Amino acid sequence: MDTTQRTEQQRSADRRRRELLEAADRVVLRDGPQASMNAIAAEAGITKPILYRHFGDKGGLYAALAKRHTDALLDSLRAALDAPAERRERVEATLDTYLAAIEARPQVYRFLMHPSDGSPGEQGFDVGKHSAPLLRRMGEELAQVIEDRVDLGPGSQQLARVWGHGIVGMMHAAGDWWLGERPCTRAELVRSLADLLWGRLAAAGDKLGGPGF
């Protein structure tokens, strides 16, 4: 098999994988944490063994969906962080971007972050085992943004990582509580969380010539 044939086969496989993930997305939007491999296979018009062939098991499918949604969310968060605005406005925009994302697709959020007992005939799925790496990835990404944009002085790398993981943990915990109870508006939650952050971060100097993080 020559290089052209291998490339075309890879493109076809990548296209088919995207189609299957889009089918899985539709089922997750409908069923949330109860989305089953049987339902996803039916939505895609294939048998479950074929779905297993592409993803291995529900954990493999979950990991692929998680990467798809996390990549999109991180792109949105970076855009909010790099917008031409004052630091407080960008912090609020970043918090709002995260909350708006989980509010717009709550079933996807619950599938990614909340465990399910599994559907009949399927083994229970330990979402917690897989969701923790997602939060860690977001924490590391935010830590890098903080380190690049804020002058934290000595020990800046470690402090940026502490803040990055701390802020992600705060967003996740507060967002999970808010999505379940809706005790206030999204704007009110954003302002309250930004107020919580507005201590040493507000006083730190900027490495760059512009308004900074």
**Structural domain total, the chain:** 1
* pLDDT value at residue 5: 67
* pLDDT value at residue 81: 84
79 lies in a domain? yes
186 lies in a domain? yes
213 lies in a domain? no
114 lies in a domain? yes
* pLDDT value at residue 132: 77
Domain containing residue 155: 3-206
* pLDDT value at residue 145: 85
Per-residue pLDDT in tens (0 to 9) along the chain, 213 residues: 666 767 878 888 888 889 999 999 999 999 988 888 999 999 999 999 999 888 888 888 888 888 888 888 889 988 888 888 888 898 999 999 999 999 999 998 988 888 664 544 454 445 556 677 888 988 998 899 888 888 888 889 999 999 999 999 999 999 999 999 999 999 999 999 999 988 766 767 777 655 556
* pLDDT value at residue 61: 87
Residue 118 DSSP code: -
Rounded Cα gap, residues 144 and 100, in angstroms: 23
Rounded Cα gap, residues 52 and 65, in angstroms: 14
211 lies in a domain? no
121 lies in a domain? yes
- Closest by Cα among 152, 146, 151, 142 to 209: 151
40 lies in a domain? yes
**3-state secondary structure at position 155:** coil
Strands 150-151 and 205-206: antiparallel
212 lies in a domain? no
Rounded Cα gap, residues 33 and 22, in angstroms: 16
CATH number of the domain bearing residue 85: 1.10.357.10
Residue 5 half-sphere exposure toward CB, CA atoms < 13 A: 2
